[in-house]
Amino acid sequence: MDEKQPFLGHLEELRSRLIVCAIAIGAGFAISYAFSKQLFSLLILPLTRVLPNESRLIFTSLPEMFITYIKVSLVAGIILAIPIIFYEVWMFLAPALYQKEKRYLVPFVVFSSILFVLGALFGYLVVFPYGFKFFISFATEDIQALPSVKQYFSFAIRLLLAFGLVFEMPIVVLFLTKIGVITPDAMKRFRKFAILCAFILSAILTPPDVATQIMMALPIIILYELSIFLSRGVYGKRKEASNSEEQQG
């Protein structure tokens, strides 16, 4: 491991890396704003497909659409900056790792970015259509669905970010196993609790529809099992390295 830095040194490094992340997000925002209308049209597509022909999204204040386009561009900018954000996170945590472990920088950045995008796409392509169809099913001849742009954006982005972050579980588990915070045996012991948490989380984030909740809970459970498998491999190598160092000492 690298020589320990003083506390103020860590704060200064954190500040500089946050500045780099902010610049990357700002650049992504500038690029995304040029396509903000197209991005928003793409975001609302799962809802507009299940809306009745006479129904449309509405906005109830004059600046609402402008602010929404700004928010859409900002979220898109964050997604574009994801590789740089993960790179900066890894470099900040790198001093806690052994020199040979730092070679995982590129795989960490690549797979973290891929998993986040896959999680967001899973929510957009799989969960959104069924969830929105469930909500719209409450419309009747006397009750028309007129979803608000502001409310839809908040709901959709919260779900997309939640799915993206949930799919980061294997990467987080690998790192925590490497630094000795968790072990595969501990994850096995908490399996039942993790399954319960998966269904609670899906019940909070998805519509009160059993099928939609299962569609979110199952990937979390599968990712948890995958994380146990990966943790077992990393833990075994870490234990072997530790034993080797003790013998040499």
Divide the 249 residues of the chain into consecutive groups of 10 and give the mean pLDDT of each group: 59 87 95 94 90 81 91 92 86 69 72 87 86 81 83 87 86 78 84 87 71 79 87 73 58
What are the backbone angles phi and psi of residue 59, rounded to the nearest 5°? -125, 140
Can you give the pLDDT at residue 159? 83
Can you give the pLDDT at residue 6? 67
Token output for 181 = 């915070």
Cα–Cα distance measured from residue 139 to residue 243, given in angstroms and rounded to the nearest whole number: 65
Residue boundaries of the structural domains of the chain: 1-167, 168-242
Can you give the pLDDT at residue 37? 93
Cα–Cα distance measured from residue 120 to residue 219, given in angstroms and rounded to the nearest whole number: 12
Can you give the pLDDT at residue 15? 87
Q: Given its phi and psi angles, is residue 38 left (phi above 0), alpha (psi -120 to 50 degrees) or beta?
A: alpha
The crossing angle, in degrees rounded to 10, of helices 64-80 and 7-33 is 120
Per DSSP, the three-state class of 215 is helix
Can you give the pLDDT at residue 72? 94
Cα–Cα distance measured from residue 101 to residue 14, given in angstroms and rounded to the nearest whole number: 21
Helix, strand, coil content of the chain in percent (nearest 5)? 80, 0, 20
- Give the number of other Cβ atoms within 10 Å of residue 71's Cβ: 16
Can you give the pLDDT at residue 142? 79
Cα–Cα distance measured from residue 198 to residue 45, given in angstroms and rounded to the nearest whole number: 27
Cα–Cα distance measured from residue 56 to residue 67, given in angstroms and rounded to the nearest whole number: 19
Cα–Cα distance measured from residue 234 to residue 221, given in angstroms and rounded to the nearest whole number: 20
Token output for 226 = 């995958």
Can you give the pLDDT at residue 208? 65
183: nearest Cα among 140, 148, 218, 231: 231
Can you give the pLDDT at residue 158? 84
Can you give the pLDDT at residue 209? 66
Cα–Cα distance measured from residue 30 to residue 74, given in angstroms and rounded to the nearest whole number: 9
145: nearest Cα among 155, 133, 156, 136: 136
Cα–Cα distance measured from residue 232 to residue 235, given in angstroms and rounded to the nearest whole number: 5
Model pTM above 0.85: no
For tokens 């997309």, name the residue.
160
Can you give the pLDDT at residue 189? 87
Can you give the pLDDT at residue 77? 94
